[in-house]
Amino acid sequence: MSQNFELKTQYQIESARFLPHLPEGHPCKRIHGHSFKIILTLRGPLLPHVGWVQDYHEIDQTMKPLLAALDHRLLNEVEGLENPTSELLAQWIFDHAKAKLPLLKSVTVMETPTTECTYPV
C-alpha cells in the first residue's frame, strides 16, 4: 500500500496571448486574454514528526517568480512560450518548477472554467 499523499495547490494569473500557427479567422489567432487557473499536483510521503508532505508556504515561495514572469504579460513574449497553448504553458511551468519542487507530479492549466490540460500524464 502506498504511503504517499497527494497535495494540490492553485494559482491564478491573467495573461494575454495569441496562437500564431492557427489559420486566419480563428479567434485564438487574435490577441486575447485568459484568467488561467494553474494547479500543481505533488506526491510524496509524510515528513516524520512534522506530519505533512511539504509546506504549502514553501511551494508558494517557489512559484512566486514563475508566476510573476507570466502574470499580466503577453505570454508570446516569454522565452520558450512563443506559441503559448495551454499544453505548452503547462509544460513550461512544469519544466521550470520541477528542479525546485522534486515532488511535483504534474501541472494543470485551465484556460476557461470548463477546460483543463495536464502535463505530464
Binding residues vs Zn ion (CB under 5 A): 28
Give the shortest CB-21-to-Zn ion separation in angstroms.
Answer: 13
In the complex, which residue's CB is closest to Zn ion? Answer: 28
For cell 517568480, the residue is: 65
Give the shortest CB-4-to-Zn ion separation in angstroms.
Answer: 35
The residues that are catalytic are 28, 72, 111
Q: CB-wise, 73 or 100, nearer to Zn ion?
A: 73
Q: CB-wise, 36 or 59, nearer to Zn ion?
A: 36
* Rounded Cα gap, residues 8 and 31, in angstroms: 31
Q: CB-wise, 53 or 78, nearer to Zn ion?
A: 78
Give the shortest CB-32-to-Zn ion separation in angstroms.
Answer: 6
Q: Which residues contact 104 (CB under 8 A, 6 or more apart)?
A: 40, 41, 42, 94, 97, 98
Helices 86-97 and 56-70 sit at what angle, rounded to 10 degrees?
130
